[in-house]
Structure 1
Amino acid sequence: MEPREQSKEVLFELAWEVCNQVGGIYTVIRSKVPAMVEKWGDDYCLIGPYFPQTAGIEFDAIEDDSIFNKTAKKLQKNGFDVHYGRWLVTGRPRIILLDFSKMMDNVDKLKFDLWENHQISTINAEPLVNSVIAFSHMIEEYLKSFVDDYSKKYSVTAHFHEWMSAIPLINLRKENKDIATVFTTHATMLGRYIAGNVDNFYEHLPSYNWREEAKNYGIEAQAGIEHAAAQKCHVLTTVSDVTAKECEVFFERECDLILPNGLNITRYAATHEFQNLHVKYKQKINQFVMGHFFQSYSWDLDNTLYFFTSGRYEFKNKGYDLTLEALKRLNFKLVKNKVDTNVVMFIITRNPIKSIDPGVLQSRAVMEEIKETCEAIEKQIGEELFYASASNTDHTMPNLNEMVDEYWRLRLRRTIQSWKVNTLPHTVTHLLQGPDDITRFFDESNLKNHEKDRVKFVYHPDFISPTNPLFGMEYGQFVRGCHLGVFPSYYEPWGYTPLECVIRGIPTVTSDLSGFGDFMQQIMEDYESVGVYVVNRKSKSFDEAADQLADQLYQFVIMNRRDRIMQRNRTENFSDIFDWVNLRSYYDTAHDMAKKKRGVKLK
């Protein structure tokens, strides 16, 4: 036997979301890169799928003599379409992107092998499964080649995220390749499906049979891959204690470690500017609100609070049902107690749409016309006022009306006349392809933006971006301009949306069934003082949780401005807890555990 010469370590991190923005795991991996590069340097390499559209933006192909590129070139000579370079994100890590399009011709054989070797059925599986199988085959070929060439000099660890990258893990372990493996599930497939379709998911969790449920929901392939990876990896991890309970049932194995999610806080840091940024972006939201509501009626924007919720359209899992019910009760309490503060609730998600509602665009356009006319009048008055004041001999205030000529008076009068309407403001900004649970709730509860209501609604069924004609700002800027994020999820393995509020100094609502909320309850007792409100959904009924959330929102509304500013300061100050520089240690521990278990072979 040749003596082992290992002196260096390399880490591969593999995921469908590497350089491929399709979900929250992309945020996990991308934001974690700087902290990983800080420890591993160029001995860290990510592997993901090659899609020309995203690679054209985020991928920079390079040529060097690194061991990662040498393996890539070796596979290229064997006919594999492998791309090596740097990921154009903070930290610029090495990255391998695999174009699996040519492998699709071999999918049937690979599916047969999956059944033959692991008894994982792919019958009637969704098209994504075929793509994952082809992608996974290329990962496996790359890692096998790398380990065969370099395992005597390098200790190799591979960290697989989710079922989309996990097939190579179960094959490599079957062949007892010299590689330490970590598997992280960010949300079990069965948990996501079952929680969205049944009541009392967590109460019934211990009684579920994972094979029966996978067959029932038509996800035998995905659940089978997950289960096999969880069984065969050296170290099994997930993102929260909440999801760890699912792993025990659906994977029949306890998690070895919890890996809480973080963010690269320096990307968001605004030093002492975050309060100024809040005011700046609130003004932009004010402009939208004026254009959307003031056509019908107006109110004091200085006494208005902006709440929002966002995320995938999962009406129950994301807590949209609870949020709407609590807001209905909040509206009743505010009207009953004659609180004069208005709340505008923005619901930001993505649902099938035809287009932006022409009426919403028309309202926005007319408001812009009013603004331009007022700016022209302002300029004219300014010039005339300066001349009149300089030449005035009686020290009296000049008559400003006389300084506006007839053209601008008439234009402003006509624009205002065409602007005002007798209809209620739209609750939905777009034309949906059909009614959904949110619009049905508006209809059934008569929450239609009546003037007497204190809670107004803006349902925006598309994500916010700078090219959006209604807001014209980035999502992060929109978050900074709001006062409160509301995310009382029923099924949320982690929950980045409340964390994205916290790091921007914006208070947030979460639930004890979300990984983030559960983590907050573990690390501090007085979490409300730092602007994190946790709705109890573990032990409370839907009705009780709606009452609790309504009370939390009501207390936030009646809080005075000075207290809200102080709370935002505390929120921003404690956000460093979630910096990857601090949370990377959990990943370090997982990798160390895997290396110690690497010599343990499967029976």
Structure 2
Amino acid sequence: MIIAGEEAGPKSNKLGGVWNVIDAEAKKMAEIASEEIIVVGPYFERLGQDWSPKNRITHAEFDDAVGSAIDEAAKRVGLPYVTGKIGKVNYVLFNVEHCLGRIVRYDNQDMRLSDAVKAEAYRLVGLDSLRYEATSYGREYTHYLNLSYAVSEFTKALLDSGKVSLHCHEYPVFYAIARLEKLKIPVKTVATFHATKIGRALGVGVFDKIRRGDPTYPPNIQHGLVELEKLAKYAETVTFVSEGTRAEAKLFYGIDGLVIRNGIEVTNEIIDWEKKTECLNRIRSTIVSRLSRYNGIELEEEQIIPIYTISRLELENKGYPDLMDALVILDRILTNRIENGEIEEVKVFCLLITAFGYKDPSTLPEGFPVELPDEILVGDELRLKKMVEKRKIDVGNLKKRAVCAMPYPQWVGRNDGGFGMTIDEIAAGCVAGIFPSRYEPFLLTALEACSEACPVVISRACGFSGAVKELQRRKGIFGGVILVDNIEQSYLETITDYAFGLHIIIDALLRDRAKDKMMCSTAFVLANEMSWDEPVGMYYEILRE
């Protein structure tokens, strides 16, 4: 059983949440399957090979060697590759950049392998690569075609060892399915949509398109990548991570299939309350010490209430304008309660964890993230900071405010130059997570917060909301996840509900510790109910048919 994707492989291949899905599926599948599980993805051997701004380099470090049949099949593809095994999962990674230099004979002509792949794609499925390769995304498009070629050739070669099934995550590898189908290679194929290109481009506007049944594309869409996405129609089975994504594919591409939700692997059977306390104290201590040293603001650690959001740097799709306005409302609620003597003075710090890319910690100021000069910010990172300053909820206005939004434009980790904490530690230490996405196919980040017993406020627009409502209906699990309708309600109602959702969680912390623990426990229970067992079991039954 092959699981393929642009993000498949070691964590160094990660671009977003799809890596987590592939990694979890492979590990869980290996536990229940008698078949060999093989993850196939790209191998970025050196700087400059990656088409993405992340500039990935694949760290191919494995525990063991793969079997001879897998290695032989990889060798027959004719591209540089690395193989290895971690636990029960096999990995095969291809350096497809060599398609650009290798000369082959195709259609009675000598040409680069990459050009032969494009010529064959035109002959098989009508992909007009000449139209797309000169676009701003041409390099990305070419990489996807070459990767799909490698995946399909490996799959063909592996057939000599027995039956093979192929599960492709997202459009970068959908051409592999189409090519196998057109070449009449007997392989069981599954294509999974985590989103659609049209949906991401439209953002919240996609819901209006669905309501009106309007299949037209927005202007300036990346048509070449859309054409790759439409190749999912050649799969025997198509799956979607949410009903929303399914509705998009059905409207724009005429493709339908099954909804198989994402999940999460919760490693603890019980809540680690000591971890939560320790991580909360670390966040508080870092904020207090850096405020004192770099801003001259003196606070007690107990006054600080950390909350957070984390996402890709897509400010509108991820709802950052809505969040900023909601934080202003939250500030007014808390400030009035403090002035009326209902609660002691508190300071809510909302960590806005989103970044254009990794930053070398040595280039960050010592006071990061409290100290955040414009010079270190790139593109929308700077725009987000200006959004915060415009609403006067930045660190500079902290003395007059009960709420402060703190941009954190860095990939979090133990040596990130900021808190020096992993994302699970930040989630464990924060009082709440807030995820106000206007467009979000699933929202795995909220589920990851729940797995650390962190209550969350989420938008109805995210696919995760459907799973929450289903659990509420079937099992009566309420609390821990506060759902805000950002589709039917007005903007003012939406941002007010975000603010009150956060206030409910914060008020429980301040005045009702039993309710606070109940909300944390309910979030944790919900995460356990959303394990990978059910979705991976469904994938396994489909793939082994």
Per the TM superposition, whether the score is higher than 0.5 is yes
How far has the Cα of 1:274 moved from its partner?
1.2
Match of 1:168 in 2: 176
Q: Map 1:200-279 onto structure 2 (within 5 A).
A: 200-205=205-210, 206-209=212-215, 212-213=217-218, 216-229=219-232, 231-255=233-257, 257-266=258-267, 269=268, 271-272=269-270, 274-279=272-277
How far has the Cα of 1:548 moved from its partner?
1.0
Looking at structure 2, the residues matched to 581 and 281 of structure 1 have their Cα atoms a distance apart, in angstroms, of 29
Looking at structure 2, the residues matched to 545 and 498 of structure 1 have their Cα atoms a distance apart, in angstroms, of 18
Q: Map 1:123-134 onto structure 2 (within 5 A).
A: 123=131, 124-125=134-135, 126=137, 127-134=139-146
1:178-229 deviations in whole A, cap 9, x for unaligned? Answer: 111110011111111122xxx633112355445x54xx32412211111122
Match of 1:158 in 2: 166
The one of 346, 350, 355 aligned to 2:351: 346
- Seq. identity, %: 21
Answer yes or no: is the 8 Å Cα contact 1:306–1:345 preserved in 2.
Answer: yes
Match of 1:137 in 2: 149
Match of 1:554 in 2: 503
Unaligned runs of 5+ in 2: 47-56, 102-112
Match of 1:99 in 2: 95
How far has the Cα of 1:328 moved from its partner?
0.7
How far has the Cα of 1:142 moved from its partner?
1.6
SS at 2:528 equivalent: helix
Match of 2:79 in 1: 80
Match of 2:377 in 1: 432
Change (3 A) 1:428 1:288: farther
Match of 1:478 in 2: 426
Change (3 A) 1:48 1:363: closer
Change (3 A) 1:146 1:172: same
1:542-600 deviations in whole A, cap 9, x for unaligned? Answer: 222101111111222222233212321232234221221233223234335xx3xxxxx
Looking at structure 2, the residues matched to 502 and 246 of structure 1 have their Cα atoms a distance apart, in angstroms, of 27
Which one has more relative contact order, counting CA pairs under 8 Å at least 6 apart? 1
How far has the Cα of 1:448 moved from its partner?
3.0
The one of 568, 583, 593 aligned to 2:535: 583
Looking at structure 1, the residues matched to 66 and 304 of structure 2 have their Cα atoms a distance apart, in angstroms, of 56
Rg comparison, structure with higher value: 1
Answer yes or no: is the 8 Å Cα contact 2:5–2:168 preserved in 1.
Answer: yes
Looking at structure 2, the residues matched to 331 and 104 of structure 1 have their Cα atoms a distance apart, in angstroms, of 55
Change (3 A) 1:476 1:169: same
Match of 2:71 in 1: 69
Answer yes or no: is the 8 Å Cα contact 1:506–1:571 preserved in 2.
Answer: yes
The one of 174, 187, 190 aligned to 1:179: 187
Tell me how many residue pairs correspond in the alignment. 501
1:521-542 deviations in whole A, cap 9, x for unaligned? Answer: 1221497844111111221122
How far has the Cα of 1:40 moved from its partner?
1.6
Unaligned runs of 5+ in 1: 1-10, 365-424, 596-603
Looking at structure 1, the residues matched to 128 and 65 of structure 2 have their Cα atoms a distance apart, in angstroms, of 39
The one of 1, 5, 12 aligned to 2:2: 12
1:333-353 deviations in whole A, cap 9, x for unaligned? Answer: 111232433211111110379
Which residue identity does 1:179 align to in structure 2? V
Answer yes or no: is the 8 Å Cα contact 1:262–1:579 preserved in 2.
Answer: yes
How far has the Cα of 1:358 moved from its partner?
8.9
Looking at structure 2, the residues matched to 457 and 427 of structure 1 have their Cα atoms a distance apart, in angstroms, of 12
Looking at structure 2, the residues matched to 63 and 247 of structure 1 have their Cα atoms a distance apart, in angstroms, of 37
- Could you tell me the TM-score, scaled by structure 1's length? 0.77
The one of 292, 295, 301 aligned to 1:294: 292
Looking at structure 2, the residues matched to 247 and 357 of structure 1 have their Cα atoms a distance apart, in angstroms, of 44
Which residue identity does 1:543 align to in structure 2? L
Match of 1:374 in 2: none
Change (3 A) 1:289 1:63: closer
SS at 2:3 equivalent: strand
Change (3 A) 1:80 1:555: closer
Change (3 A) 1:429 1:509: farther
Looking at structure 1, the residues matched to 430 and 166 of structure 2 have their Cα atoms a distance apart, in angstroms, of 40
Looking at structure 1, the residues matched to 455 and 61 of structure 2 have their Cα atoms a distance apart, in angstroms, of 32
Looking at structure 2, the residues matched to 357 and 62 of structure 1 have their Cα atoms a distance apart, in angstroms, of 37
Match of 2:26 in 1: 33
Match of 2:366 in 1: 361
Answer yes or no: is the 8 Å Cα contact 2:168–2:174 preserved in 1.
Answer: yes
The CA RMSD measured in Å over matched residues stands at: 2.7
Which residue identity does 1:475 align to in structure 2? I
